[in-house]
């Protein structure tokens, strides 16, 4: 499953908001330095979708706030 994510780094709290079936907003506490925000996005989405972090991959947008993410759910 592919989803489109808009990331809000350096937020006060971490959360996921579903906009539509394939569009989400994700807030993470980490700053966008040294892949910290990307790793936080993967962690938050893994919790949200109740899956492992290894099943989530950033397909494109690793240096952008807009990302396309692939989720393999078994």
Q: What is the 3-state secondary structure (H, E, C) of 47-62?
A: HHHCCCHHHEEEEECC
- Mean pLDDT, rounded, for 55-74: 93
What value does the mean pLDDT of the chain take?
A: 95
- Domain housing 8: 2-71
pLDDT of res. 73: 76
pLDDT band of residue 74 (cuts 50, 70, 90) is low
Domain count, the chain: 1
pTM of the shown model = 0.93
Extended strands (E) in 1-74: 2-8, 15-18, 23-27, 56-60, 66-71
φ, ψ for residue 54 (rounded to 5)? Answer: -70, -15
CATH code of the domain covering residue 67: 3.30.1200.10
């Amino acid at each position: 499953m592919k989803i489109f994510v808009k990331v809000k780094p350096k937020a006060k709290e971490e959360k996921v908001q579903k906009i539509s079936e394939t569009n989400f907003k994700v807030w993470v506490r980490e700053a966008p330095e040294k892949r910290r925000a990307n790793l936080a996005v993967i962690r938050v989405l893994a919790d949200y979708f109740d899956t492992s972090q290894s099943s989530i991959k950033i397909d494109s947008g690793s240096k952008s706030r807009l990302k396309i993410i692939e989720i393999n759910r078994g």
